[in-house]
Amino acid sequence: MKMKRAFLSVIFVLATVLAGCEPLMVLDPKGPQAERQAHDIMLSIGLMSIIVIVVFALLAFMLIKYRASKQSKDYEPPHIEGNIIVEAICVGIPILIVIFLSIVSVKSNYIVEAKPEGYGDKEPLVVYASSSNWKWHFSYPEENIETVNYLYIPTDRPLEFRLYSYGPITSFWIPQLGGQKYAMSDMITTLHLAADSPGEFMGRNANFSGKGFAENTFEVTAMPQAKFDEWVDEVKETAKPLTEEKFDELLEPGHLGRSTYTGTHLKFLPPPEGHHHGSGNSDEHSEDEHAEHQQSSESHKGSEHHSH
């Protein structure tokens, strides 16, 4: 009776504590890439839970069935040869599990590395995300603006992040939108994401990069395309231009709050030439795209100047 009460008390305490916990961000997806990864995580957890339950059930069965008995001291159990069926199950099931999870992982990897599903022929918003000790710089070449330590993105539109670093290797991660990817100093890595609904999300550097790593975070705000366009117009009217001298100051090690600028550092300090899409695209393709974005930004700026 006491054991029963103790067991029920433990269950009650666990239920009370866990009821107040917020869901893990990786299991609360707000985009197609994150949703795919959350599905794979739950699939793996479910499969492992079944394995654990079966193993513990067999353990309990063995402990009860083959527990010590009141046999005489000279009792010798009968000699039993190995059972082929049991051995095949013990070896075969783990092999099948590994094969299954491998197929799921490879298939999901191709899906999350590509443009998000369900967005048809929508043109992605390209953002160059570069890190330094210990801050994040977000350059919008098409909009010709740049932000520090915060990111505004439109919903229902594919996002193409081009990642690199001005310091040690970092890892760009927005848990509710997708998995992490490394940012390095000698090449660009591409990460495809999308946000299905408006909201505020946490982003951070997920790779240890020195004493300021813990605060190497940024805020992400997803909003409808119309509001995003309004924000871009507001930045162009109110923000100060980003100069080379100012950007050199931003690259100095330390922590900063949020800041916004017109223009990007891509003009006077281009990103690395090396490129890795994860999908087989060449460096030449990356350079052509970068030139097109720069040309588009220049022509857009020229048209605005002409209109004024």
- DSSP secondary structure letters along 233-296: HHHHHHSEE--HHHHHHHTSSS----EEEES-TTTTSPPPS-EE-SS---HHHHHHHHHHHHHH
Kindly tell me if the per-residue pLDDT of 281 is higher than 70.
no
Among 15-19, 44-48, 84-88, 149-153, which is the least confidently predicted range? Answer: 15-19
- The whole-number pLDDT of residue 70 equals 75
State mean pLDDT over 151-162. 96
Judge whether residue 83 has pLDDT over 80. yes
Say which residue, 62 or 160, is predicted with more confidence.
Answer: 160
Helix (H) or strand (E) holding 43: helix 32-65
* pLDDT for position 283: 41
The architecture CATH gives domain 125-307: Sandwich (2.60)
Task: State pLDDT tens for residues 99-141.
Answer: 999 999 999 999 999 989 888 788 999 999 999 999 999 999 9
Q: Decide if pLDDT at 167 tops 70.
A: yes
Residue 74, pLDDT score:
83
Question: So what's the pLDDT on residue 292?
Answer: 46
